Amino acid sequence: MLARVADNLFWMGRYIERSEHVARYLNVNYFSSLDAPNLKSQDRQFVLRSMLFMVGDPEEDTDKFLKEEDVLYKIGLDPTYSASIINNIKFARENANSARDLISTELYEAINKFYHFVVNYPKDIFVKNGLHDFTTHVAEMTDILRGKIRGTLLHDATYAIISMGINIERATQITRMINAKFNDALLSQGGENNMFSKSFEWTTLLKCAEAYDMMRRFYKKTPTSISTLEFLILNPNCPRSVMNSLNQVNQHVKILNPEKRYNKDSTAFLIGRVRSEYEFKYIEEIDQDIKSFIENILKSLVVISDKVDEEFFSY
C-alpha cells in the first residue's frame, strides 16, 4: 500500500471515530442535563461549557454568557471551525476519496451518503430542534461505516491501518471525555448529595461512551468515580475502554509489520510496551492522581500516532 494513501486511510478512520464521539457527547450531555438531579448539572451554561471543553476549545472567560445556538452550531455544522462535526466528516470523505481504488464501493458509498446527509442538514433546524435527530444519525452512520469497514474490506494492511486510526482515536476521545467529565465533576461538587466520587457526571460519562448499561451489569451498583474509571480505562472487555482500544491497535500493528515486532524502534514494540503498562495497572494507582494519569494517556497516544507516521507514512 502506498504510504500517502495509508496516511489518508489512517486519518479517515480517526475522523470517522471522532465525529461519532463528539456527536454523542453533545447528545448525551444536552439531554441528560434536562432532568439532572442537581442545579449545577442542569445549568445550560454548564453543559455548553462542558461541550466546548471536550472539543478542546474551552471558554476561558467564566462570566461570559454562551448562546446555545452559537455553541451547537459551532461544534455541529460550522464549516469555518476545524473541529466541527461537519468538518470531521468532510475530512473523512476527502481521505476516502484519495483511496477510492483501495476501499470497497460499499464503504465509499456509505461515506458519501453520510457526507451528503451532514452537508445538507439545515442549520436552523439543527440549532433549534434537530440536535437529537442529527447526532443520533451521525452516530448511526458511523456504525454503518465501521460495519462496512469490517464487513467489506480485505482484512489486510488497508484494514489494519484504518482500524489503528479508529482505535487510537477511540482511546483518545474516551480519554478526552473522561477529562471533560472529571472536570465537570470537580466543578459540580458540593452539598451532601453531590460528592465528587458519587457525582451524576459519572453516569453521564458512561452514557457518552455507550457503556452505562454494561457497566451496571458488571458492577451492579450506581457508578462512582472509581468504578467508572476502572471500567472505561482498564476493563479489556468494555469495547470502548482505553485498554480494549490498545489491544486492538496492538493486534493490527502486527499485521503491518510482523517481523519488526521485537525491534525496539518499531511501532509494534512501542504499542506493546504502552499496552503492557496499562494491562498491569490497578485503579487505586490511578485514583491517586487522576489528572496526571489522563495527561499521560493522551501523551502516550500522541507518541504512538507520531510513531505510526514515522514508520509507515514518511519518506
Partner 1 sequence: MENIENQIFSSYLRNPDLYDEIHDEKGKVKEVYQKLFNLYGEHSINDYVLLNNKAKSSFFNQGITFQVYGENNVQEKIFPFDLFPRIIDPVDWDIIERGSIQRSKALNLFLWDIYHDKKILKDNVVPIELITSSANYLDQMNGLNPPGGIYNHISGTDVIKHKDGKYYVLEDNIRCPSGVSYVICNRTALKKALFGVFNHYQTHTVTNYAENLLELLESVKPGGVDVPNVVVITPGMYNSAFYEHSYLAKTMGVELVEGRDLFVENDFVYMKTIKGPEKVDVVYRRIDDQFIDPLEFNPDSVLGVPGLFAAYKKGNVTLANAPGTGVADDKAVYTYMPQIIQYYLDEEPILNNVHTYHCSRPDELKYVLEHIHELVIKPVDEAGGYGISIGNKLSKKEIEKVKAEIKASPRKYVAQPIMSLSVHPTYIDDTESFEQRHVDLRTFTILGKDKEFVLKGGLTRVALKKGNLIVNSSQGGGSKDTWVLKK
Note the residues at the interface with partner 1 (CB under 8 A). Answer: 1-6, 94, 97-98, 100-102, 105, 108-109, 112-113, 116, 157, 161, 256-257, 312-313, 315
The whole-angstrom separation of Cα 21 and Cα 55 is 10
CB of 6 to partner 1, least distance (A): 5
Our CB check for partner 1 shows the closer of 4 and 273 to be: 4
Task: State the residue for C-alpha cell 448539572.
Answer: 41
In degrees, rounded to 5, the angle at the alpha carbon of residue 107 between the alpha carbons of residues 243 and 232 is: 15
Helix (H) or strand (E) holding 238: none
The whole-angstrom separation of Cα 10 and Cα 253 is 12
Other Cβ atoms less than 10 A from the Cβ of 286: the count is 20
Our CB check for partner 1 shows the closer of 205 and 256 to be: 256
Our CB check for partner 1 shows the closer of 111 and 206 to be: 111
CB of 154 to partner 1, least distance (A): 11
The whole-angstrom separation of Cα 167 and Cα 252 is 10
Q: Please say whether the dihedral angle defined by the alpha carbons of residues 28, 32, 33 and 37, taken in this order, is positive or negative.
A: negative
DSSP 153: S
CB of 101 to partner 1, least distance (A): 4
Our CB check for partner 1 shows the closer of 98 and 189 to be: 98
Q: How far is CA 18 from CA 32, 94, 227, in A?
A: 21, 15, 25
C-alpha cell at 222: 450506581
CB of 1 to partner 1, least distance (A): 5
Our CB check for partner 1 shows the closer of 1 and 214 to be: 1
Our CB check for partner 1 shows the closer of 28 and 256 to be: 256
CB of 315 to partner 1, least distance (A): 5
CB of 256 to partner 1, least distance (A): 7
Our CB check for partner 1 shows the closer of 5 and 48 to be: 5
CB of 257 to partner 1, least distance (A): 8
DSSP 150: H
The whole-angstrom separation of Cα 200 and Cα 213 is 15
In degrees, rounded to 5, the angle at the alpha carbon of residue 258 between the alpha carbons of residues 267 and 101 is: 85
C-alpha cell at 70: 452559537
